[in-house]
Amino acid sequence: MTGPRYTDIVAALPADVPFVGPEGMERDQGFPFAARIGANENNFGPSPRAAEAMARAASDVWKYADATNLELRVALAARMGCGPDQVIVGSGIDGLLGNLVRMVVAPGDAVVTTDGAYPTFNYHVNGFGGVLHKVPFRADDREDPDVLLARAAETGAKLVYLSNPDNPMGSHHPAAAVRDMVDRMPEGTLMILDEAYVEFAPEGTAPEIDPEDPRVIRFRTFSKAYGMAGARVGYGVGARDLIRTFDKVRDHFGMNRPAQAGAVAALGDDAWLDRVRAEVAAARARIGTIARANGLAPLPSATNFVTVDCGRDGTFARAVLKALLARGIFVRMPFSAPQDRCIRLSCGTSPELDALEAALPEALAEARGAETV
């Protein structure tokens, strides 16, 4: 009796996944987190209008959702200044990245990204047999457009990934720098512009890009500023031919009915979005205050999280993270050196930041004590 005959690519992949969810971590440690500030969720929640729309749609979940996602695509097109046929909707940016990689990357094809940038993109590239070429962050903890472009030209890359603002460092480039990167993209290379956090960024971060420009696709999400991470709604804007090609590989019923209804309602509630931005700005400031009070250095952030430099190396930062987890504070950290000298703290509610403020001095003391053992 034999089991499944896996492809050579899948058989060779490691069993680990990009992220271990907080629920699994809570089960392993045997108690719930007092502060869930590790996954960059919007702890201030979705628009009440979105929640109400999802609740109303729940009674219709016996029906498949509109496979074309037309109502949502029309609403997004109005927001993005493009046509509905230039918008693709999917199960978060993660799902859309998987579709795009499937469309473009064959075994052995080169793909360029930044070492330590969003690991789920790498997960998809590896899963389809692509070859990842990683470049380092700049000394100021920003992704490096010049080095990304040079590596793309050198390798003949099919895709180049840039997040702006960046996760996990919270840094960002102004619109002009991103526009210049698009203009210098090597022939035959598609730029992925991941703008998951752009609603939190300073004015002038998002560039003006012709949706029909074949050199770039931009992705955004309802998981962050709109507070709907659990609904899994992401979208992309790109040239019509590229958007049509998604129909060859996407799950046509992958966007559920309540999620579509909630996203449409969320787009109509800019007042709530402004309120969330204000809450995030206040939380970022408080995280910075807590970090500095403990001798740590908060990095500038254009997102809904603050990356905090622990001042030593990755071993020390991991010890701090472990000690915080043991005290019920769910946080994460960058994966790659030298950015792994930091921990990353999502903007939480006042009670969550109270818990962080109480736990951080103890966690640092434990980590420093471990160094002397």
* CATH assignment at residue 330: 3.90.1150.10
Task: Say if residue 222 is in the same domain as residue 244.
Answer: yes
Distance CA 306, CA 283 (A): 9
DSSP letter (8 states) at residue 208: P
Task: Say if residue 223 is in the same domain as residue 86.
Answer: yes
Task: Say if residue 146 is in the same domain as residue 120.
Answer: yes
Of 17, 43, 28, give the one whose Cα is nearest residue 230.
43
What residues does 234 pair with on adjacent strands?
90, 221
* Residue 13 within a domain: no
Task: Say if residue 75 is in the same domain as residue 190.
Answer: yes
The predicted-structure confidence for 268-310, as pLDDT tens digits, reads as follows 999 999 999 999 999 999 999 999 999 999 999 999 999 999 9
Task: Say if residue 149 is in the same domain as residue 278.
Answer: no
pLDDT at 17: 77
| Residue ranges in the chain modelled with pLDDT below 50 | none
Distance CA 217, CA 205 (A): 16
The predicted-structure confidence for 162-173, as pLDDT tens digits, reads as follows 999 999 999 999
Q: Is the peptide bond before 361 cis (omega within 30 degrees of 0)?
A: no
pLDDT at 239: 98
* Residue 8 within a domain: no
pLDDT at 196: 98
What residues does 162 pair with on adjacent strands?
193
Task: Say if residue 225 is in the same domain as residue 330.
Answer: no
Residue at which a domain ends, from 236, 268, 300: 268
Task: Say if residue 312 is in the same domain as residue 169.
Answer: no
Task: Say if residue 246 is in the same domain as residue 275.
Answer: no
CA-only gyration radius of the chain, Å: 21
Residue at which a domain ends, from 238, 268, 298: 268
pLDDT at 211: 97
* Residue 1 within a domain: no
Residue at which a domain ends, from 243, 268, 293: 268
Half-sphere exposure of 48 (CA within 13 A, CB side): 2
Of 166, 199, 190, give the one whose Cα is nearest residue 243.
190
* CATH assignment at residue 135: 3.40.640.10
pLDDT at 117: 95
Give residue 329's domain range: 21-45+271-372
Q: How many domains does the chain have?
A: 2
Percentage helix, strand, coil for the chain under 3-state DSSP, each rounded to 5:
45, 15, 40
Q: What is the DSSP string of 17-32?
A: -S---HHHHHHHHTS-
